[in-house]
């Protein structure tokens, strides 16, 4: 048993030490800059296009429109899961994390880092035409209306989506289940 645990730990350390490296450019790229461009509208369209899965990694989450779209996706049968910064989720009075959890969306708090600052949304990441959404854009009203932010939507690059999903899962392993 100890030998098996040792081998498993060695494999995990070896895989964690390997960087993703360069990936071939493929698919399409959409870029939005707020407050001028409608980044939130692009996010909502992307969420509506989800067929099987949505993985969210959010530093802060207070956009009612995006929360509604994620809940609607879940009602359509899309598996929606979220990682979020615990401090932001529990201390930000505008956080909608409680509402998302109450709507049946599984949520985990990232607690390992001083700040879990990723802003990522993966749609159908294991399918033939995956979508990776990332950038500085927080899932908030202010990100669209008040801040200078960027949002990049990368479609059709399966190796990129796999790298992001693997990273999401690595963060999920270190996270703790939502608890009020």
The answer as to whether 31 is a domain residue is yes
User: Cβ of 119: how many Cβ atoms within 10 Å?
Assistant: 20
What pLDDT shows up at residue 117? Answer: 78
CA-CA-CA-CA dihedral for 159, 164, 169, 174, to nearest 10:
140
The answer as to whether 34 is a domain residue is yes
The answer as to whether 2 is a domain residue is no
Residue bearing the bigger pLDDT, 61 or 42: 42
Mean pLDDT, rounded, of the chain:
85
The answer as to whether 19 is a domain residue is no
Q: Name the 3-class secondary structure at 153.
A: strand
What pLDDT shows up at residue 159? Answer: 95
Residue bearing the bigger pLDDT, 71 or 102: 71
Q: Give CA–CA dist 86/106, Å, rounded.
A: 14
Going by pLDDT thresholds of 50, 70 and 90, the confidence category of residue 17 is very low
State the CATH number of the domain containing residue 109.
3.30.870.10
The answer as to whether 20 is a domain residue is no
Report the pLDDT averaged over residues 60-76: 91
Q: Which domain holds residue 43?
A: 26-177
Residue bearing the bigger pLDDT, 9 or 92: 92
The answer as to whether 16 is a domain residue is no
What pLDDT shows up at residue 58? Answer: 87
The number of distinct structural domains making up the chain is: 1
What pLDDT shows up at residue 167? Answer: 93
Catalogue the active-site residues: 117, 119, 124
Report the pLDDT averaged over residues 79-98: 75
């Amino acid at each position: 048993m100890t030998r098996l645990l040792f081998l498993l730990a060695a494999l995990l350390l070896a895989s964690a030490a390997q960087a993703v490296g360069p990936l071939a450019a493929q698919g399409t790229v959409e870029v939005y800059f707020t407050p001028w461009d409608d980044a939130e509208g692009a996010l909502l369209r992307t969420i509506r296009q989800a067929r099987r899965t949505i993985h969210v990694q959010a530093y802060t989450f207070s956009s009612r429109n995006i929360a509604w779209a994620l809940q609607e996706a879940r009602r359509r049968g899309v598996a929606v899961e979220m990682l979020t910064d615990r401090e932001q989720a529990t201390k930000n009075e505008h956080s909608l994390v409680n509402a998302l959890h109450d709507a049946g969306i599984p949520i985990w708090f990232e607690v390992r880092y001083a700040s879990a600052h990723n802003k990522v949304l993966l749609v159908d990441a294991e399918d033939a035409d995956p979508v990776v959404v990332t950038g500085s854009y927080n899932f908030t009203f202010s990100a669209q209306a008040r801040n200078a932010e960027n949002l990049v939507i990368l479609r059709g690059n399966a190796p990129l989506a796999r790298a992001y999903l693997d990273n999401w899962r690595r963060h999920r392993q270190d996270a703790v289940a939502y608890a009020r």
